[in-house]
Amino acid sequence: MTKNAIVLGAGIVGVSTAIHLQRRGRQVTLIDRKDPGNETSFGNAGLIQREGVAPYGFPQQLGLLLRYALNNRIDAHYHLHTLPSQIAFLARYWWNSNARRHAIITRAYAPLIENSVVEHKDLIGASQAEGLIRKDGWIKIFRTEAKRDQALAEAALWQNEFGVEYDSLTPADIARMEPDMTSDFAGGIRWRDPWSVLDPHALTSAYRRYFESLGGRFVTGDAASLGPFGSGWKIMTAEGPLEAEDAVIALGPWAAIATRRLGYSFPLGVKRGYHMHYAAEGNAVLHNWTLDAERGYLLAPMNRGIRLTTGAEFATLDAPKTPVQLDRAEAVARTIFPLGGRLDPEPWMGARPCTPDMMPVIGKAPRHQGLWFAFGHAHHGLTLGPVTGRVLAELITGETPFIDIAAYSPQRFNP
């Protein structure tokens, strides 16, 4: 008899999980309040970051922390009045980011990243989404020799330990690769392995269509109505009540709210981010996904225009938009590339779901049968959606996950 499963959350993680469960013989219903890919998965840098083996840590140097405290940067911004409610999370995040702990976490995190491209490749081929993908990596450019040399030394370590491939770029290389960009940079790095996505929302939509071609279905519903029912789970949807043996919570930054109703307490913080699309002036062309590393913004040549993305904003999930980082980034970006007018009516804002140890929560709920978690992917939700979906589906259907996922267990926060 076919078992039913429901997946709450139709971002890249939820859609990928639904695909892998449907492939394994479950009858899956994907549920969200909006169409797939319209929340956090809509706005990101569009990178499948095979090089991103080290999760983004909290600054440790006192001088840098003091500079961040001025709250005038592009790569980080905070709401002063909300800091008291975030202190506990930030303190744990800071502690886990010390050199010794961060090295341990990086080694535990790396297996997910190492399989990110190959697992996307599987779903990209199956969903016939090759036209949305570029396979020529991305570049990181530096304004000072000191930061360039530091980054190259780190890249060499990652290459030796994790097989990450890169090229060192001279100022002449950057000028050749980006002739419409000013050439007053000290050098850079080209990461060879990552793939880039010309439209992240379109990719999630393609995965959704593939899921439905397998026999899965999408309905709108309210995650707040999820609750135990008999030996399984029940939820209210636009089509009425729905029952299933298994339920997956893949709600990104809203996962903390949904799991709290069921008696769990996850220290899930958010890093909000913004983006805007621009035309290029005249005949200018941006060829590469390009990070201005010492300023903290990225320019990406996407189908909708040149997407400018910002760093992290520390604020509550439901706080009003404060796109000051975007304005700061735009002013700097215009000095290195001839951006034209804004193409979007207003800045887009989303929230990255973050844990204080920088690793996602993937696995079985400790105190409920048939309840599973997949959230907390921080900056790498797009990157890790398919690999997360595969390992969780393997776990749910009784297979041995193809990589060790013990480090991501929900029990590390809710024993």
pLDDT tens for the chain, 415 residues long, are: 679 999 999 999 999 999 999 999 999 999 999 888 788 888 899 999 999 999 999 988 888 888 888 889 999 999 988 888 899 999 999 999 999 999 999 999 999 999 999 999 999 999 999 999 999 999 999 999 999 999 999 999 999 999 999 999 999 999 999 999 987 899 999 999 999 999 999 999 999 999 999 999 999 999 999 999 999 999 999 999 999 999 999 999 999 999 999 999 999 999 999 999 999 999 999 999 999 999 999 999 999 999 999 999 999 999 999 999 999 999 999 999 999 999 999 999 999 999 999 999 999 999 999 999 999 999 999 999 999 999 999 999 999 999 999 999 999 998 8
Q: Where are the extended beta strands (E) located within 44-143?
A: 47-48, 76-78, 133-134, 138-142
3-state class (DSSP) for residue 252: helix
Whether 120 contacts 130, CB under 8 Å: no
Predicted local distance difference test score (pLDDT) of residue 62: 83
Radius of gyration (Cα) for the chain, nearest Å? 21
Here the tokens at position 6 are 């429901």
The residue among 338, 298, 319, 340 whose CA lies nearest residue 49 is 298
For the chain, the straight-line distance linking the first and the last C-alpha, in angstroms and rounded, comes to 33
Instruction: Identify the pLDDT of residue 393.
Output: 98
Q: Which residues contact 175 (CB under 8 A, 6 or more apart)?
A: 181, 183
Distance CA 361, CA 117 (A): 20
Q: Strand, coil or helix: what is 113?
A: helix
Q: β-strands 217-220, 27-32: how paired?
A: parallel
CA distance 122 to 117: 9
Q: Helices H, strands E: what count in the chain?
A: 11, 23
Spatial CA neighbour of 380 closest among 67, 107, 115, 191: 115
Please give the Cα distance from 184 to 43 (Å, whole number).
30
Length of the chain: 415
C-alpha distances out from residue 281 to 284, 286, 299, 339, 341, Å: 6, 11, 15, 6, 8
pLDDT at site 275: 97
Judge contact between 205 and 37, C-beta under 8 A: yes
Give the C-alpha separation, 22 to 84, whole Å.
Answer: 43
CA–CA gap between residue 200 and residue 206 (Å, rounded): 10
> Tokens at residue 58, please?
């909290």
- Sign of the CA dihedral 379, 384, 385, 391? negative
Distance of CA 208 to the CA centre of its chain: 18
Q: CB neighbours (10 Å) of residue 398?
A: 7
What's the CA gap between 123 and 198, in Å, rounded? 16
pLDDT at 47: 98
Structure tokens, 395: 């776990």
